[in-house]
Amino acid sequence: MHKKVNDRKKWQEIIKILGFFAIISLISLIVIAILVGTKTISWNWLTGFILGEITAVIAIILVFFSVNLLIKTENHYLYYFMYLLRLGVYVAPFLLAFLIPATPFFYGGVLIGILPVVALSYLTGMLIKQKVVVAESESLSC
């Protein structure tokens, strides 16, 4: 019973974090779509934004995976590797935006798409703190 309550709290925190991410992304998408619709900016801003959003979702998945891996294995070197992998995921869309000569992706749109990850930079700390508290309470109950 105690574990079921902790799982519910954990899922509520994750849903709250992802809801915050979704709200920021939706507001950004509406603003960029309006600007593209009024021809204030070009369509490549929108494609850059979509590329940035895909990158942000992959980065958040990597954050969840790396925190679970750190809690499970306590291997800090693997956690550092996952951090470097996440940095590589952030760099890849910028390389696409800068190096493709036809410019289907604009770097400003990519930057706006990755912006929710900057707002969620405390995600790892909150997840680690929450999982350690849950692990401590489980060890005390056994």
Contact between 79 and 137 under an 8 Å Cβ cutoff? The reply is no
Cα dihedral: 71, 73, 79, 82 (round 10)? -100
Query: pLDDT tens digit string along 81-117?
Result: 888 998 898 889 888 888 887 778 888 888 888 887 7
Of 48, 57, 50, nearest to 109 (Cα)? 48
Give the pair of three-digit tokens for residue 14: 């994750």
List, for residues 40-83, the tens digit of each pLDDT value.
Answer: 888 888 888 888 889 988 888 888 888 888 888 888 888 888 88
For 44, the token pair is 């490549």
Q: Check if the beta carbon of residue 40 is closer than 8 Å to that of residue 103.
A: no
Alpha helix locations (H) across the chain? 2-37, 43-73, 76-99, 107-119, 123-141
pTM listed for this prediction: 0.72
Q: Please report the pLDDT score of residue 14 as a whole number.
A: 74
Band of the pLDDT at 3, cuts 50, 70, 90?
low
Is the pLDDT at 130 greater than 70? The verdict is no
Confidence of residue 138 (pLDDT cuts 50, 70, 90): low
Q: In whole angstroms, give the CA distance from residue 61 to residue 104.
A: 26
DSSP secondary structure, 62-89, as one string? HHHHHHHHHHHH--HHHHHHHHHHHHHH
